[in-house]
Chains A and B, each alone.
Chain A
């Protein structure tokens, strides 16, 4: 024990112990923790608060770039912003602008007339000379009497439209929401009405009454241009799904849905009859035209795998092909005010006209057609003296008599055409132009 005591009193041992402790401390402290220091952090935001104006005119507000700093010092002045016109042919008042103390660099933008979608690029350079990738500021320049390619919501998802030139109203459905036209052909305001949720079909009758069919099988109408909406009797009882709705020029309403036959209302949707009930078969119709002799003409698929132009002489109870000589594989039918029956076909690619209630036909236009026949689209609309026809794979034709045609718009990727109450034309994009709509603006 004495020996051990001597050991612990030993100066050498004490020195060694101190050395060990010091070494431990040095080793354990000699490691910095991994860390991150932000030296600079800037955000660039690009603003265009009122992005729509008439082509050739100034946007209402200046466009500007805003620089934010999230590190101190927060000085955001002295950044250089270079604005350049990229698309549309317009001009900016100042091409090179320095940010002020608030970090803003702004300029006025006069839109061009070269295209509907117009683009200005803005490139930021910081005070140290670091140049950052440019960003785009987009504006819409309304072009009258020209086609505007629209690729933004809701206009690019237009699925139905109805208009009335007498009561000056136009209605649109896009992505199951109902819109009413505003000041110009691209100004559509969503209707905030719960009864219209899930809108799918829209029609206006000869008295300006607006009817909207919904995805859950309801029918809602407004007799006062959309101020009030009234729920009608369900066209197809116990049907929780959508239906097709057509209104003939005598004001009668027609509703169909595959396995539920044909339903007819003569009192504005208050009561419905079921002239054609089907069992184990399907019945759908695309378009409904009342001829002067009382016939009901439509393009019908009645238990077949193809559409046929058919007529009913007994208010929809029975249906027969309008003629054995009618062109096959129609994709649309239209009946003019003179009871001329116009058939649009894809197999022999063209437009056929009959002036004798469908007995004989004459090809009046020839052109290739590419499309999907299952789409229950509207292809023909009349405005004033002119008819406008969408030919998928070709473009938009204009005619007054279905004899002479002019190509108003050459664009193969379209399917469906509508006209608002001012005569502005809306054409739905298809295939390569899916989620795009083309608007031909009229004042």
Chain B
């Protein structure tokens, strides 16, 4: 059945790419790039390296109208992972009776997982009617594993025994893209694209690991028989009359300060620097009120400097010796906000916004140092742990919260606006996943951690429709 679906899909691609149907509405091209793998799952410790791998593909785009299009492609993509663990000999200090056998050594345990896929995505894209065109898209993909080491016999046996076998033969998931393109000839645009993918099937059983990636690529898009583009096709100075423009897109970037905003926090948490980058969309409801959403990649988190049994949060128990921890937790989210924005003033305006957000966890990393001391009647060991753990198994997949902000907008090149503002956000509820199998059951365990952040944000408001 899956094979039939795959064949139909390929036929569809070939069909729509035939010269007969080639027209101004169709564009096609190629892209190449690199892929930074990003495993998702019940990761609690050890470093999962975001290894670089190649990807390349051929795509076909069908313009639904001036702003929206459908895109599909055939792409070769890779997901290369490498896990490096601590060989933690210090858990039970080893003492020797004489110097002759006193050598202490560590071995890394390293394991590599390399997957290559043929990927077939289908997503809808929005593109700005500008010469330097911003495109944003989202959709789903289906991919087939190319380097399948599991034999057919093994898969048949597993199927007969109703047992899962890893890795599976195919994957599916979600794909989001953002690209910038620029016309270099009448028919050809050069573009740079960034993509985030999230697979939904478990490929690494031990950590319930699902594929994920961040991709960066560049390529060429060819639109046959396209009209010669000139600056008049895009925003004209007259378009800048903001009184009649209803939709705006706003690429934003900012510096984020994140912290644990829980009022119950049990230990010495502090703030850390992060970042926020993405695009906001604004729809003007009235002269002063607008609805605002978007998609942002945010690195939140907090810092911890205290004695604890965990490296990423405070936990104590009389039964266990604590470690002196100095760590930072990086929590990466794809955030989708929904705000009401109020603006006053012209041409320089002041704005205030208020709303909600959903943050979809992408990564959770803990790094820093811990000093572990093991002592007893028969010896003493002091060791420094250089922490680099993937810890996303400890955190909820989604963070809901509220946000509010204020700032100023300044006219820029007449039809654009540059803005600077600050945004404060806070989780509604704790982000620690306390009810899973990862809970050790320490007597004092701080599961109250919430995300808090302030972003100093810069943006450029571009009108996109009337």
Contacts and interface: CB of A to CB of B under 8 A. Distances in A.
Partners in one complex: yes
Interface of A: 3-4, 6-7, 10, 12-13, 16-17, 20, 23-24, 27-28, 31-45, 68, 70, 126, 130, 132-135
B90 to A, nearest CB: 6
Contacts of B381: 38, 40-42
A36 B370 CA distance: 10
A43 B104 contact: no
7 contacts: A4-B220, A28-B51, A33-B386, A38-B104, A38-B382, A41-B381, A42-B380
A41 B379 contact: yes
A40 B90 CA distance: 11
A68 B377 contact: no
A16 B98 CA distance: 61
B382 A24 contact: no
B378 A43 contact: yes
B50 A32 contact: no
Nearest to B93: A41
A10 B385 CA distance: 49
B378 A44 contact: yes
Nearest to A39: B382
Contacts of A32: 367, 386, 388
Given A3-B187, A12-B190, A43-B95, 12 more contacts: A24-B34, A28-B50, A31-B49, A35-B86, A35-B106, A36-B384, A36-B385, A38-B382, A42-B380, A68-B98, A70-B104, A130-B375
Assign chain B's interface to a size class.
35 or more
Interface string B170-213: 00000000000000110110101000000000000000000000
- Residue of A23, A35, A40, A126 with most chain B CB atoms under a 10 A cut-off: A35
Interface string B390-411: 0000000000000000000000
Nearest to B90: A36
Nearest to B217: A20
B36 A41 contact: no
A23 B33 CA distance: 12
A44 B386 contact: no
B188 A7 contact: yes
B96 A68 contact: yes
B108 interface: yes
Nearest to A20: B216
Contacts of A6: 184-185
A32 B386 CA distance: 8
Contacts of A28: 36, 49-52
Contact of A40 (B36, B87, B185, B382): B382
- Residue of A28, A43, A44 with most chain B CB atoms under a 10 A cut-off: A43
Given A20-B33, A36-B88, A38-B90, A70 B382 contact: no
Nearest to B97: A45
A36 B379 contact: no
Contact of A20 (B34, B98, B377): B34
A126 B259 CA distance: 39
A218 to B, nearest CB: 41
Contacts of B382: 38-41
A37 B190 contact: no
B379 A44 contact: yes
B89 interface: yes
Given A3-B188, A23-B216, A24-B34, A133 B380 contact: no
B152 to A, nearest CB: 35
Nearest to B108: A33
B52 A24 contact: yes
A401 B367 CA distance: 84
Nearest to A28: B52
Given A31-B50, A35-B86, A36-B106, A41 B380 contact: yes
Nearest to B384: A37
B102 interface: yes
B417 interface: no
Nearest to B376: A133
